[in-house]
Structure 1
Amino acid sequence: MDAVKKALWFIESHSSGPLTLGDVAEASGLSRFHLSRVFPEVIGHSVFAYLRGRRLTEAARALADGAPDILSVALDAGYGSHEAFTRAFRDFFGLTPEEVRTRRCLDNLPLMEAIRMSDLPAIKLPPPVYRDIGAMLVAGLRQYYTYDARAGIPAQWQRFNQFFGHIPGAVGRSAYGICTAASPDDQNGFDYTCGVAVRSLDDLPEGFVGQRFPGRRYAVFAHEGHVSKIGSTCAAIFSEWLPKSGKKAAEGPLMMIEHYDERFDPKTGEGGVEIWVPMQG
């Protein structure tokens, strides 16, 4: 997880000053878009959630040590006022800064400790194959997720599976999980669509959306394990393979497509999944 390790080092080394997602992405060697996707898969929190938690944890330590000036602690944590700091601190810990300073201890506080880079998981990623895939029309259910709330995706698939096999104009027996940027400036989450290829985007079931994807080349990776572990494969693709490959993912809102063919069993989550990463050129 080289890119994530670089991002963690940069955050820990620069957390006391102004920090943007672009700064962290540049240090990691990934684009903002790809870092926003891979960091939560490995760490369990978005870049900004991790940074916020680390800053508030260090602020709590300073307060428990009896810091005399709460505003100074707030400024060091990146907050411009006592009020904004108190709100964020209370939301995170369930106590006010004054209460922690009075207690003089950190017992039972949900601290976010620095993640040791040696503790990050590692998986063996088979090399991809490259596949030219023609233009596709996809119809399905789309939902927005913050990077910290992506655990809701299986429930979205459960809703979609009620329609599978009954969608007008469906092509083949494959299903697709499509990750796209909600907007170019969104650093907090992404759109995820559970869908199938269709011949036309007319007469879709109520609540469905249609998406058009031009023909392009994809790097295709095989995820052979249980579908619940797909995040580890995605993390290895974007944190290890992509920076080292000398290749570039395509620009644009489409980040990747999960391809579930006839081998995949939605009841057990077994059978394997392909991960398609759109490439430049």
Structure 2
Amino acid sequence: MSIVAKALWYIENNSARADLSLDDVAAACEASRFHLTRAFGLATGRTLMRYLRARRITQAALALADGAPDILAVALDAGYGSHEAFTRAFREQFGLTPEALRARGHCEGLDLVRALRLDHGGDLVLAAPRLVERPALTVAGLRERYSHETAAGIPAQWQRLAGHPVPACLVGSNEYGVCIEADGGAFDYLCGIEIAGRAPAGLVALAIPARHYAVFFHPGHIAAIRMTWRAIYDRWLPASGLRALGGPDFERYDGRFDVATGEGGVEIWIPVAAR
């Protein structure tokens, strides 16, 4: 069973626990918070805790539509400490109050979040990675924050980078898409180039330390790269005997990649260490 399948099973069987946390789910999956967060977001397009909250409030809605008499008890079961906090979250999700839903007695037309079932996209067969030591490098470019729900904005970020002149401090001709973990299941994405020295005006620099990497090759169109990322974090890493270090991982676009067509292939570099 993949790490995300384990997480989904655990959430469905433990969502009634008001104190259920990301650490609890990660421990049940025998994974770090970083690894689970990355795998879950890549596989589902959602953050784990946002999915958990949505499942709880969906179950609360079903209970209220079925006539649950005590709204506070439903709120506590859903992990909310007060009637007010529950009502606020309920209204944000469904556009009506818990009392209004109970009075109408059905959930038709509500944006319920059903239990996720993974599709077969996780069956992608990965070629074995090469394991390499990579010296430190500095990448300069544009840095933006995303959630897995808003990551569709990344291509436009690359287009904005193309408007910047090539700096004199450029090292080589490769381009990099770097992912940096942020709070709350979000991540920062830096698209840029390797430089020596200070970042040019309008760009920000990120120093990436020397690391041991597992390097994968995504051979298909760039639009499908998320499936390769998913296969790495959801299936390959748990079975590899290695652990993700949680530092920046990145895509490297070299001379094989054709910007005009999105074809040619991309390398994916994951910093790893022995468990």
Q: 1:70 to 1:241 in 2, by over 3 A?
A: same
In the alignment, which residue of structure 2 is the partner of 1:158?
159
Contact map agreement 1:176 1:194 (CA 8 A) in 2 = yes
User: Per-residue deviation at 1:45?
Assistant: 1.1
Query: Is residue 276 of structure 1 aligned with residue 269 of structure 2?
Result: yes
Q: 1:105 to 1:45 in 2, by over 3 A?
A: same
Contact map agreement 1:22 1:32 (CA 8 A) in 2 = yes
**Corresponding letter in the other structure for 1:191:** D
Q: 1:250 to 1:188 in 2, by over 3 A?
A: closer
In the alignment, which residue of structure 2 is the partner of 1:188?
185
Contact map agreement 2:90 2:96 (CA 8 A) in 1 = yes
* Larger deviation, residues 116-125 vs 40-49: 116-125
In the alignment, which residue of structure 2 is the partner of 1:205?
201
List per-residue Cα deviations over 1:96-134 (Å, max 9, x = no partner): 111211111111111110123576642111110112222
User: Per-residue deviation at 1:237?
Assistant: 0.7
2:224 paired residue among 208, 217, 229: 229
Contact map agreement 1:258 1:275 (CA 8 A) in 2 = yes
Contact map agreement 1:175 1:259 (CA 8 A) in 2 = yes
User: Per-residue deviation at 1:280?
Assistant: 2.1
| Aligned pairs, number | 273
Contact map agreement 1:171 1:199 (CA 8 A) in 2 = yes
User: Per-residue deviation at 1:187?
Assistant: 3.2
In the alignment, which residue of structure 2 is the partner of 1:263?
256
Structure 2: 5+ residue stretches without partners: none
CA-atom RMSD in angstroms:
1.7
Whole-Å separation in 1 of the counterparts to 2:194 and 2:119: 42
TM-score by length of 2: 0.94
User: Per-residue deviation at 1:2?
Assistant: 0.6
Contact map agreement 2:121 2:227 (CA 8 A) in 1 = no
Secondary structure at the residue paired with 2:8?
helix
TM-score by length of 1: 0.92
Contact map agreement 2:136 2:208 (CA 8 A) in 1 = yes
Q: 1:120 to 1:271 in 2, by over 3 A?
A: closer
Q: 1:95 to 1:122 in 2, by over 3 A?
A: farther
List per-residue Cα deviations over 1:28-77 (Å, max 9, x = no partner): 22210121111011112110111011111111101111111111111111
In the alignment, which residue of structure 1 is the partner of 2:245?
250
User: Per-residue deviation at 1:6?
Assistant: 0.6
In the alignment, which residue of structure 2 is the partner of 1:167?
167
Secondary structure at the residue paired with 2:13?
helix
Within-5 A mapping of 1:88-99: 88-99=89-100
**Corresponding letter in the other structure for 1:74:** A
Identity %: 50
User: Per-residue deviation at 1:150?
Assistant: 1.9
Within-5 A mapping of 1:55-94: 55-94=56-95
Q: 1:24 to 1:191 in 2, by over 3 A?
A: same
Q: Kindly report structure 1 stretches of 4+ aligned residues shifted beyond 6 Å.
A: none
Q: 1:136 to 1:24 in 2, by over 3 A?
A: same
Contact map agreement 1:36 1:187 (CA 8 A) in 2 = no
In the alignment, which residue of structure 2 is the partner of 1:216?
211
Within-5 A mapping of 1:21-60: 21-60=22-61
Contact map agreement 2:174 2:255 (CA 8 A) in 1 = yes
**Corresponding letter in the other structure for 2:222:** V
Within-5 A mapping of 1:93-108: 93-108=94-109
**Corresponding letter in the other structure for 1:45:** R
